[in-house]
């Protein structure tokens, strides 16, 4: 980000402003991730949530998750894909709200 419209053109001041801007962008991204997890987790069904956690957090195979949940592997994949779609939609919605000016 360039700060050509500021009165103080000292390079160290501009550098500090750019650094603060970069840190703020990183914080906004982290907030977006946290909000996606909080809001998105509440939008998932119990099955979608369980499959998503087992697959992403614990790195379990679809076959193992299906066996544990007494489901067909195709059902587990469907729950997983639904969870991803819901979380993606929540993330996009949050991104729009965060960047609304």
Give the domain ranges of the chain: 11-98
Q: Specify the pTM.
A: 0.75
Question: 75 CB contacts (<8 Å, ≥6 apart)?
Answer: 66
pLDDT in tens, 19-75: 999 999 899 889 888 999 999 999 999 999 999 999 999 999 999 999 999 999 999
- pLDDT at res. 12: 80
Q: Are 51 and 84 in contact (CB under 8 A)?
A: no
Q: For residue 3, what are its two tokens?
A: 């700060």
Q: 11-98 has which CATH code?
A: 1.10.10.10
Question: Model confidence at 16, in pLDDT bands (50, 70, 90)?
Answer: confident
């Amino acid at each position: 980000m360039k700060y050509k419209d500021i009165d103080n053109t000292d390079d160290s001041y501009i550098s500090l402003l750019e650094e603060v801007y970069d840190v703020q962008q990183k914080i906004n991204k982290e907030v977006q991730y946290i909000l996606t997890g909080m809001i998105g987790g509440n939008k998932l069904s119990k099955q979608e949530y369980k499959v998503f956690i087992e697959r992403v957090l614990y790195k379990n195979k679809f076959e193992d998750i299906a066996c544990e949940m007494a489901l067909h592997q195709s059902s587990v994949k469907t729950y997983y894909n639904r969870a991803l779609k819901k979380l993606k939609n929540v993330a996009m919605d949050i991104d729009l709200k965060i960047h609304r000016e």
